[in-house]
Structure formats: C-alpha cells, structure tokens
Structure 1
Amino acid sequence: MLVFSAFTPNSPLLLPEINKDKAHRLEKTTEAMAELADELYATHPETIILISMHPTIFNGSFSIALKDPFTFDLSEFGELSFDKKIKPDIELINELQDSLRSQGQPVTLTSDETLNYASAVPLQILTEDLKNVKLVAITYSELDTKSHFQFGNALKETIMSSDKRIAVIAVGDMSHALTNNSPADFHPDGEKYDKKIQELIAQKNTVGLISLDEKLIENAVENSYRSLTILFGLLDRISVKPEILNYEAPFGVGYLVANFAIK
C-alpha cells in the first residue's frame, strides 16, 4: 500500500558535511526536509521507492538497481566519511519487474553498487531515523513524457496491491539557469519553469504537467521533470493533498520540497 509520496531536491549542498560555510543559506530547505522526514517517519514505511537520476540512464528503458547492500558515495564532493548502507527490497523489486514487463514497460535491472549524490542526499536526510527501511532505486529514462507518465501508472498496480507500507519519493533539482551565477547559462525560462512546476503541483494538474512545453523544459536545464512525471503517473486517480513546503534558489539552482499527503 502507498503510505507516503513526496518530491525533494538532491543537491549535496543540503548536507552540512559538504556545505559547512554556506549551510545557513539553505536553512528553509533544510527545515522543510526535516518536516518531510518527520512526516515520512510517522507513516512507518517498510520500503522507499526512490525515483531519481541514478548513475545509469538508458535511452529506451527505465532501470531498477539491484545490489545488496547499497552504499552511499559522495567522494566526488570530497566527503569520504559516509559509510551508510541500505538494503534493497528484493521481493518488491521482483514483483515490480514482473508486473512492469507484463504491462509492456521497458525496464532493465542494473547492478550499481553505490548510490550517487542524487539518491544518497535525500536518503541521508530522510531516513536518519528509519534504520530498517529498505530501498527500491528506480532511474528514469530518455524516453518521452508520455512514457514516463505511463511508467508511473504501471508502478501503481504493484504498489497499491502490496501488503507492504511503501513510500514513493521523486527526486530532482529545478532549473539550473536562474541567474548569471547558475551552473548553466542564464535563461529567462528557468524562472518560468520553476514557477510553472510549483503551480502544477499545487493544483495537481496532471494534464498541464504532461503537456508542458518541451522548449521551456529544455531551456530550464533541470533534472526534475521526468521523475516528477513518473510520480504524477503513479498518483493518477489517487486522492492526495499536495503541499509545497518550500522553494528557494540561493545558489542559482531551484530547490523544491513538496509533500503529496495521502488522503
């Protein structure tokens, strides 16, 4: 059963171990993530399905990582002290891949042992008090928007029929083109994209999301749209109350924290 759903950023700057000197500039996002962690803990999840930008992204297939255990890898940011491990939910992974393939969904199993920052950051923050929670790590693909929405819809069948308490968290950062100091070149569509996504989430406007202008998405230089589209597909026809807990962009990249409370 689905007990929790949310969207979070994945920036390593959210970890004080990496961003010691400027952590105060992300205080509101940090507080929102702490609030989300409390909400997640209260639902007593047995398994987290994380939809993110894992190391391997395929052109024509979604992927599910299978390694026991997963380890966190933040060495590219100079942080070597993380030794956290998290076990996969092998039973649920098998059920998901069987169900997805029976529905004609392209899915590949990978053996990535380490979770890069895109997965490690939100998991580090959100599972601090969830010592025994298991993980299903799903990576989006290079397929089109409709395929991502349909994939989310296909995931729902197994999740809703499962006896396990399952949390689904979609992960990504918003526009990387918000200012002249952003990682990507500034583009006015960056701010337009971030504002539009917030509006669509607040309204849970599925039609608006999947019909969003492709050029707007491209110009925004984001890594949030595909994971969010999968989440919207999964939540289609499920009663939820969307709430944006915080949005800010102190370093020229948009960070959005949103809870989709299950009614």
Structure 2
Amino acid sequence: MLVAAAVCPCPPLLVPEVASGAAHEMDQARAACYDAVGVLAAARPDQLYVIGPAEQPGRGPHPQGTRGSFRGYGVDLEVRLGKGDASRRELPPSLAVGAWLLERTDWTGSPVEGLGIGEPLARARCEETGKELAASADRVALLVMGDASNCRTLKAPGYFDERAAAFDAEAARALGAADIDGLLALDEELAYDLKAAGRSSWQTLAGAGQGAGLGGRLLYDDAPYGVGYLVASWS
C-alpha cells in the first residue's frame, strides 16, 4: 500500500552544478524538494520507487544501483539509484534528477528502484501501473518526477499557450489535495500539446494512491523559466 509520495519537478537545472551561475533561481524549488523527500524517509517504507518520464531506451524498470550522469549537460557528475551496481543501463534524465535528490538528502531507508514511464502512456495504463507498484510491498513510497506545462511564457521552450496556466493550476490543485479523481481527469491530449512531461507520472501516482487515504500538501508552484514546476507531499 502507498504510505507516502513526493512529487518533484525534473529539470536538470535543479542540480546546482548544471545550473551553475543560475543555481540560486531554483533555490526555493530545491528546498521544497528536500522537504518532500524528507516526508518519504519519515514514512519508513519497505520499498521506494522513483518514477518519471522517459524516452527509449530509458523506459521500463531500473534496478537498485543503476547509474545516471549529467555529462550530457556539460557536467562531470554521476549519480546512482541507491546502493550497489546492478545494471549497465543508464538512468533517463528524470530519474537521474531523482537519484540526485535522494543522494542530496542522504537517503538511507528502504531499497530503491526506478521506473521510466513513456509520456504518451494512456491514462488507464498509468493507473494500472500505479496499482501494481502500490501492491508490491506492505509499505510503498513513491518519488514522482515530472514537470507541468512547457508553455507558460513567450520565452518558454514550448512557446506561449494560453491554456497552460489553467492546466497547471488544476494539476497543482489536484496534487496539493491528493485528489485521485482530479489527477486522472487531466486531459492526455492537452498535456501532450502543452508538453507537460509529468502527466503520466502523476496519473501513475493516482493509481497507486487509490484506497490509501493520504492527504496532500502543495509545497511549491512556480514557472521560473516558463515551465511549470510543482512540488507536493502526500502522507
């Protein structure tokens, strides 16, 4: 059963070494992520899953010990998903940011596994995957990586779309309220149009949270680069 979840954005800019001179611009988001991960540790789960959007070949399971790096962003920084060295596969960027957060907060709790989720994955498949994760152990926690819309301003990577603010506001409300039905109601096609990379991860969380009776808190909601970044905690 799901006992806790942390929802965090996944831009590599969250990592100060990648952001370099602009690192301070993500200070508030980073601090909120640390707080959310702290709630996961306090829940003392038997199993932690880090889930996030991924392209091929990064989709699918990533066992504990899988490595990731930020060399593609010009930084010689390597991370590892928990202890060990269990795989030659490399973590997709979203899970590498998740692994970095766990290392940064000195995660010493339960075993950790990763799951890269295709952004176009249908709502029903996301929901079913979440249920399977929640049923995998008596006490399951999720670190859910993903961004909101990519179209909040004219300078945003996806350019401006007038629908973006309303989509992000509803996602923030649902995540902050641990509203399962609200998350499952997020429009898949609209999320794709708005390049909202977190939609599939959030709907996987919704599946995992069914019947768990968790409450939510929204810890951060902003779009510093025209991309919606949300941080929430469920417990």
**Taking structure 2 as the reference length, what is the TM-score of the superposition?**
0.87
> Compared with structure 1, are the counterparts of its residues 131 and 200 closer, same or farther at alpha carbon in structure 2 (3 Å cutoff)?
closer
Q: Is 1:74–2:70 an aligned residue pair? A: yes
> Compared with structure 1, are the counterparts of its residues 76 and 202 closer, same or farther at alpha carbon in structure 2 (3 Å cutoff)?
same
Cα offsets for 1:117-143 (capped at 9, x unmatched): 211112212333124753211122444
- Cα distance in 2 between the residues matched to 1:223 and 1:121: 14
8 Å Cα contact 1:173-1:256 kept in structure 2: yes
- Cα distance in 2 between the residues matched to 1:57 and 1:211: 28
> Compared with structure 1, are the counterparts of its residues 146 and 84 closer, same or farther at alpha carbon in structure 2 (3 Å cutoff)?
closer
> Compared with structure 1, are the counterparts of its residues 69 and 151 closer, same or farther at alpha carbon in structure 2 (3 Å cutoff)?
closer
- Cα distance in 2 between the residues matched to 1:89 and 1:69: 4
- Cα distance in 2 between the residues matched to 1:134 and 1:127: 13
Q: Secondary structure at the match of 1:27?
A: helix
Q: Secondary structure at the match of 1:244?
A: strand
> Compared with structure 1, are the counterparts of its residues 88 and 10 closer, same or farther at alpha carbon in structure 2 (3 Å cutoff)?
farther
Q: Secondary structure at the match of 2:61?
A: strand
Please identify the structure whose Cα radius of gyration is greater.
Answer: 1
> Compared with structure 1, are the counterparts of its residues 143 and 218 closer, same or farther at alpha carbon in structure 2 (3 Å cutoff)?
closer
Q: Which of 153, 165, 169 does residue 131 from structure 2 map onto?
A: 153
- Cα distance in 2 between the residues matched to 1:156 and 1:118: 21
> What's the offset of the Cα at 1:158?
2.0
Structure 1 residues 106-125: aligned runs within 5 Å: 113-125=89-101
Opposite residue 66 of structure 2, the aligned amino acid is F
8 Å Cα contact 1:88-1:136 kept in structure 2: no
Structure 1 residues 21-40: aligned runs within 5 Å: 21-40=21-40
- Cα distance in 1 between the residues matched to 2:88 and 2:166: 35
Structure 1 unmatched ranges of 5 or more? 91-110
Structure 1 residues 46-65: aligned runs within 5 Å: 47-56=47-56, 63-65=60-62
> What's the offset of the Cα at 1:24?
1.7
Q: Which of 176, 183, 201 does residue 202 from structure 1 map onto?
A: 176
- Cα distance in 1 between the residues matched to 2:61 and 2:172: 28
Q: CA RMSD in A?
A: 2.6
> Compared with structure 1, are the counterparts of its residues 140 and 228 closer, same or farther at alpha carbon in structure 2 (3 Å cutoff)?
same
Aligned to 2:202: 228
Percent identical pairs in the alignment equals: 24
Aligned length: 233
Aligned to 1:140: 117
> What's the offset of the Cα at 1:174?
0.9
> What's the offset of the Cα at 1:216?
2.7
> What's the offset of the Cα at 1:213?
3.1
Which deviates further from its counterpart, 237-246 or 139-148? Answer: 139-148
Opposite residue 242 of structure 1, the aligned amino acid is G
- Cα distance in 1 between the residues matched to 2:166 and 2:201: 19
Structure 2 unmatched ranges of 5 or more? none
Cα offsets for 1:183-221 (capped at 9, x unmatched): 112111111111010122233333333233344323321
> What's the offset of the Cα at 1:247?
1.1
- Cα distance in 2 between the residues matched to 1:143 and 1:37: 26
- Cα distance in 1 between the residues matched to 2:40 and 2:164: 30
> What's the offset of the Cα at 1:70?
1.1
